[in-house]
């Protein structure tokens, strides 16, 4: 088996705001496996500033992984615990290599019959007019679940936007989720949650920064809005520590991002532990290209979670790879009448 890697810089169609700043481009990497004329492709969804493997040694680590594969040696668990995006890319690539079609990793009705996955529509942070314009666009596209990122502009402006949404659509018409990305301080968080609760918010992701377990526990005990842990899960590897985190904080939800958690198997461990404790969950992509999004969507479909999932990021980039993935009426589906980029294998593998 031959292993190699390649970088690709994704360009946002328009600046996308988060509480950590405005995104103009997204760095991503691919692991390519080749054996007997067959190819396997896996995306290493690195998120600079958020992934625990955001280190200057990232490319060197990728090279070490490929060198080890070319020599026939790699202990996935021991060598890649601190590089979850590479671990995930390798997991994808192996599944891809073993599949009849390198882009169809998990056979199901999602692939065979275009059975769709319900997803949320994502509204990025920005000036109020920009955020409202995104909302109008998502509503026209048939979304019934909207996720709005908050924390980058004045809280009062964000409250006004939420109020304007609720003045037009009640909670039975539009489900509203918000993502604070840790923007609130522990001291102010509960008051802000009570303010947001007036707008019948389904859930809030990561209201305070990760790593403050007791402060987050107190919030989860008192919150008027269900809390979903997101960044909190990053960097927690073994089952004992995962169980301890959930038992300590007792969140209402957790959110699985395979690129940041170490892949499908690592994410499934979180799901198992959460379900044992009566904690709900959903899965989401982490700004991958259509290659990574495709793998995550196929895996997510097999889990049969009826909640809207966070898989609507495929249209963000000007230089994404053409794929059969499409969004129709707030659902993601795999349209077999569409094809992957004509030169995808050639472009990535040579």
DSSP of 29-93:
EEEEEEETTEEEEEEE---TTTSTT-STTHHHHHHHHHHHHHTT---HHHHSTT-HHHHHHHHHH
| Separation between Cα atoms, residue 238 and residue 236, nearest integer Å | 7
- How many Cβ atoms sit within 10 Å of the Cβ of residue 292? 27
Structure-block tokens of residue 64:
């070490």
CATH number of the structural domain 109-334 = 3.20.20.120
Which residue do the tokens 């006004």 mark? 160
pLDDT at 132: 83
| Separation between Cα atoms, residue 118 and residue 105, nearest integer Å | 20
CATH number of the structural domain 2-102+343-349 = 3.30.390.10
Instruction: Please state which of the ranges 71-80, 143-152, 154-163, 282-291 shows the lowest mean pLDDT.
Output: 71-80
Kindly report the average pLDDT of the chain as a whole number.
Answer: 92
Q: Is the per-residue pLDDT at 240 higher than 90?
A: yes
Asked, colleague to colleague, whether 2-102+343-349 and 109-334 share their fold, the answer is no
Q: Is the per-residue pLDDT at 19 higher than 60?
A: no
User: Are the C-beta atoms of 299 and 104 separated by less than 8 Å?
Assistant: no
| Separation between Cα atoms, residue 193 and residue 225, nearest integer Å | 7
Q: What is the per-residue pLDDT across 101-153, written as a single tens digit (0 to 9) for each?
A: 999 999 999 999 999 999 999 888 777 788 888 888 898 889 999 999 888 77
Q: How confident is the model at residue 251 (pLDDT cuts 50, 70, 90)?
A: very high
| Separation between Cα atoms, residue 148 and residue 157, nearest integer Å | 13
- How many Cβ atoms sit within 10 Å of the Cβ of residue 298? 21
Please state the domain extents for the chain. Answer: 2-102+343-349, 109-334
Residues with active-site annotation: 149, 257
pLDDT at 75: 63
Q: Is the per-residue pLDDT at 16 higher than 60?
A: yes
Entry pTM: 0.94
Q: What is the per-residue pLDDT across 291-317, written as a single tens digit (0 to 9) for each?
A: 999 999 999 999 999 999 999 877 889
Give the distance from CA 258 to its chain's centroid.
7
Q: How confident is the model at residue 262 (pLDDT cuts 50, 70, 90)?
A: very high
């Amino acid at each position: 088996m031959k292993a190699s890697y390649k970088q690709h810089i994704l360009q946002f169609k328009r600046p996308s705001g988060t509480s950590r700043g405005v995104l103009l481009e997204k760095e991503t990497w691919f692991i390519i496996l080749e054996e007997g004329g067959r190819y396997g492709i896996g995306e290493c969804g690195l998120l600079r500033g958020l992934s625990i493997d955001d280190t200057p040694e990232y490319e060197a680590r990728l090279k070490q992984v490929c060198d080890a594969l070319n020599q026939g040696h790699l202990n996935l668990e021991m060598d890649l615990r601190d590089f979850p995006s590479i671990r995930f890319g390798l997991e994808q690539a192996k599944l891809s290599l073993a599949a009849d079609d390198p882009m169809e990793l998990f056979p199901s009705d999602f692939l065979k019959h275009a059975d769709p996955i319900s997803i949320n529509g994502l509204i990025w942070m920005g000036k109020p007019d920009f955020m409202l314009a995104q909302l109008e666009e998502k509503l026209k596209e048939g979304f019934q679940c909207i996720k709005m990122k908050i924390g980058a502009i004045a809280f009062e402006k964000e409250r006004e936007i939420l109020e304007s949404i609720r003045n037009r659509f009640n909670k039975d018409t539009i489900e509203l989720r918000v993502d604070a990305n840790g923007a609130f301080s522990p001291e102010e968080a509960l008051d802000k949650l009570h303010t947001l609760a007036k707008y019948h918010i389904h859930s809030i992701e990561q209201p305070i920064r990760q790593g403050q377990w007791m402060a987050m526990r107190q919030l989860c005990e008192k919150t008027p809005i269900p809390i979903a842990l997101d960044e909190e899960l990053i960097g927690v590897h073994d089952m004992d520590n995962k169980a301890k985190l959930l038992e300590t904080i007792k969140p209402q939800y957790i959110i699985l991002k395979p690129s940041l958690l170490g892949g499908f198997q690592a994410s499934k461990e979180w799901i198992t532990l959460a379900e044992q404790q009566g904690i709900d969950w959903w899965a989401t992509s982490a700004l991958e290209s259509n290659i990574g999004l495709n793998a995550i969507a196929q895996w997510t479909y097999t889990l049969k979670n009826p909640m809207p999932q966070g898989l609507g990021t495929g249209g963000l980039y000007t230089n994404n790879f053409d794929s059969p993935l499409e969004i129709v009426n707030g659902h993601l589906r795999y349209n077999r009448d569409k094809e992957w980029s004509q030169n995808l294998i050639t472009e990535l593998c040579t």
